[in-house]
Amino acid sequence: MKKVFDSAAEALDGVLFDGMLIAAGGFGLCGIPELLINAIRDAGTKDLTVASNNAGVDGFGLGILLESKQVRKMMASYVGENAEFMRQYLSGELELEFNPQGTLAERMRAGGAGIPGFYTKTGVGTVIAEGKEVKTFNGQDYILEEGIFADLAIVKAWKADTTGNAIFRKTARNFNPPAAMCGKICIMEVEEIVQPGELDPDHIHLPGIYVHRLIQGEHEKRIEQRTVRKKEEA
């Protein structure tokens, strides 16, 4: 089975359709599938629901899909760095389903494990719990959260072999593996593709069984928030 494709557009060919649910990996601007996001913008696929920890920033990451008005709904936990997101949400152009960060990660992981729902204390007694089933365990209330079963998962890894076994670096490891697992189809972009056997099996974060297609490409290393000290005067 051929998994390695020459470009993001080629890897997405025949996969995209209007109204689909996409799970996107990454945390802030760390480990985001920027090449696949750009290709989705160029494809013009619209009315998307995107599940991701955040919505990128203006002009980069998922922010470019917001600017092109291709996203109908975001399922996210943090959206504070995107002015266009705020404008669309406040004007009623964009739907938003807020999720606590851990809940969103578990919803993706649950979907990847075939679990349709789970109970959590996070959000009990808040707006997060509105309209959700509440059940009591050992005297404590828990709310029912549903697993995410995405039509497509787009993720970014540091290294992968040609079968899709992947390693993620540091913070990029938190949302990418569960996002990859919950997609009916998973497409992964990587910084380096190696041959089977070159990666230590004990270091694999995502087994290739979850990955259907992958590409290698050049990636931009952005810093989301740059904090520097004032120059000390002599």
Residue 233 lies in a domain: no
* pTM score of the predicted model: 0.92
Tell me: the pLDDT tens digits for 16-51?
999 999 999 998 888 999 999 999 999 999 999 999
Give the per-residue pLDDT at 189: 97
Higher pLDDT, 233 or 113: 113
Residue at 222 is within a domain: no
How far, in whole angstroms, is CA 179 from its chain's centroid? 5
**Band of residue 1 on the pLDDT scale cut at 50, 70, 90:** confident
Please tell me the predicted confidence (pLDDT) of residue 234: 60
3 within domain boundaries: no
53-63: pLDDT as tens digits: 988 888 899 99
Quote the distance between the C-alpha of residue 149 and its chain's center: 13
Asked if 57 and 82 touch (Cβ cutoff 8 Å), the reply is: yes
Counted domains in the chain: 1
pLDDT digits (tens, 9 = 90+) for 155-210: 999 999 999 999 999 989 999 999 999 999 999 999 999 999 999 999 999 999 99
Q: What is the pLDDT of residues 161-176, one digit of tens each?
A: 999 999 999 989 999 9
Tell me the average pLDDT across 66-80. 93
Q: In CATH, what number is assigned to the domain containing residue 16?
A: 3.40.1080.10
The answer as to whether 232 is a domain residue is no
- Is 233's pLDDT higher than 90? no
Note whether residue 47 is domain-resident: yes
User: How confident is the model at residue 175, as a pLDDT?
Assistant: 95
Write down the pLDDT at residue 137. Answer: 97
Instruction: Give pLDDT, residue 7.
Output: 96
User: Which pLDDT value is given to residue 78?
Assistant: 86
In a domain? residue 29: yes
Task: Quote the Cα angle for 66-67-69, to 5°.
Answer: 65
In-domain check, residue 230: no
90, part of any domain? yes
Domain that holds residue 95: 8-216
Burial 114-145 (b: 16+ CB within 10 A, else e): eeeebbbebbeeeebbeeeeeeeeeeeebbeb
Question: How confident is the prediction for the chain on average, in pLDDT?
Answer: 93
Q: What is the pLDDT of residues 100-123, one digit of tens each?
A: 999 999 999 999 999 999 999 999
